[in-house]
Amino acid sequence: MAKFRSWRAVGILLLGIVLAGTLSAVSSARKSEKLRIVGVYAVGSDPYWVSLKCGAEAAAKSLGVDLTMQGPATADIPAEVSTFNSLLISKPDGMYVAPYSPTAFIASVQKAMSQGIPVVSVDGTLAKKTEYMTIHTSYNNVGQLFFKAVGSAMHGKGTLGIVAFSPPKSNPVDGLRYTAGLPLLKKKYPNIKVLPIQYAKADTAKTASIVSAMISGNPELTAIYTTNGPEGAGAASAIQAAHKTGKIALVSFDATPFEVAGLKSGKFSALISQAPYLEGQYTVQQLVTYLKSHTDKSTVKPSTRFFLPTPLKILTKANINTPTGKKFSYRASC
């Protein structure tokens, strides 16, 4: 009986060694497999997302990662959610998403994280801390930048029109691009009149129509401020059509190739630029770092270092051609 127990103990020990070796082999195999990361954007043709894709692809190439990026051609939130869910079915190793709605992606991101798939949000974050990490522009000084760019363009007086993506409650990040600076503008320049905020959802044609109406209804209009590149392009075309270029100042967020060319030619007074190329690089790097240290596909939890910021910069005619200015100019292609 004792001998039987002894042999059984040896058998259990050998089985444990075999299992440990198998698990180790599986773990090593996962570590050696080429990781697959997918990204979901909101406006695929926008140079902001092209620039982010360029940064992500550069990081993926240097790290030996398979990377794909998909999304609707326009800012269509249901279509973006559908794209995310379709890509999730393919079981990628990691995902990132541009959440143009702070609530619409929560359930889908929770599902991915529960399956061991880390999700990073870029250019925005979710209303509930659901994702692994968020990487977007630091808005700590966005109010000061808005105040400086707009106040300077208006010389402290006149009437200001603002065209944003959507109301702040539905897109808090976009909302910060003007809500953080308006109190400073009002305090320093109480005589500046701010028209009711208009919303265009990054639609260039709709923005042009809105700005045309602003110009017709407000002969004293001094400046227009837009919160992203497509709206900046629409505003520029409306001002030009009204023969008001140089008479109505235009300040916009982002630095698309169109906006940069317009800044150089005088269509724009200033641009407040983000760093999407860096966002793309950071996103892939953070996902790969996580995946290489977590090979068991266990539920992913939000990182203790949850927010990784990227910088903002005001671009003007004076600095657009400098090395730093060029780094903040968006790309039309990689």
Nearest one of 202, 269, 266 to 42, comparing CA atoms = 202
- Please give the structure tokens belonging to residue 334: 């990689």
Q: What tens digit of pLDDT does each residue of 105-149 get?
A: 999 999 999 999 999 999 889 999 999 999 999 989 999 999 999
CA separation for the pair 184, 79 (Å, rounded): 37
Is 142-273+315-324 in the same CATH topology as 34-138+276-311? yes
Q: Which of 19-23, 171-175, 243-247, 308-312 has the lowest mean pLDDT?
A: 19-23
31-49: average pLDDT: 83
Q: Classify domain 142-273+315-324 at the CATH topology level.
A: Rossmann fold (3.40.50)
Q: What tens digit of pLDDT does each residue of 255-309 get?
A: 999 999 999 999 999 999 999 999 999 999 999 999 999 988 899 999 999 999 9
CB half-sphere exposure, 80, CA atoms < 13 A? 23
Whether the per-residue pLDDT at 10 is higher than 90: the answer is no
Burial class (CB in 10 A: 0-12, 13-18, 19+), 28: exposed
What pLDDT does residue 326 have? 87
What pLDDT does residue 295 have? 87
Whether the per-residue pLDDT at 44 is higher than 60: the answer is yes
20-24, 71-75, 136-140 — which one is most confidently predicted on average? 136-140
Q: What tens digit of pLDDT does each residue of 224-234 get?
A: 999 999 999 99
Domain ranges of the chain: 34-138+276-311, 142-273+315-324
Buried b (16+ CB within 10 A) or exposed e, 38-69: bbbbbbeebbbbbbbbbbbbebbeebebebeb
What pLDDT does residue 9 have? 45
Sorting pLDDT into bands at 50, 70 and 90, what band is 46? Answer: confident
Q: What tens digit of pLDDT does each residue of 136-185 get?
A: 999 899 999 999 999 999 999 999 999 999 999 888 889 999 999 999 99
| Under 8 Å between Cβ of 87 and 95 | yes
CA separation for the pair 188, 300 (Å, rounded): 47
Alpha-carbon distances, residue 150 vs 139, 160, 181, 262, 269 (angstroms): 17, 9, 9, 17, 9
Nearest one of 240, 248, 74 to 165, comparing CA atoms = 74
3-state secondary structure of 285: helix
Q: What tens digit of pLDDT does each residue of 206-225 get?
A: 999 999 999 999 999 999 99
Q: What pTM was estimated for this model as a whole?
A: 0.76
| Under 8 Å between Cβ of 223 and 245 | no
Q: Classify domain 34-138+276-311 at the CATH topology level.
A: Rossmann fold (3.40.50)
| Under 8 Å between Cβ of 124 and 293 | no
Q: Which residue has the higher pLDDT, 26 or 43?
A: 43
Burial class (CB in 10 A: 0-12, 13-18, 19+), 252: buried
The percent of residues above 70 in pLDDT, for the chain, comes to 90
| Under 8 Å between Cβ of 108 and 80 | no
Strand partners, 264: none
Q: Look over the chain and give the mean of its residue pLDDT values, rounded to a whole number.
A: 89
Q: Which residue has the tokens 């044609």?
A: 205
Q: Which residue has the higher pLDDT, 11 or 107?
A: 107
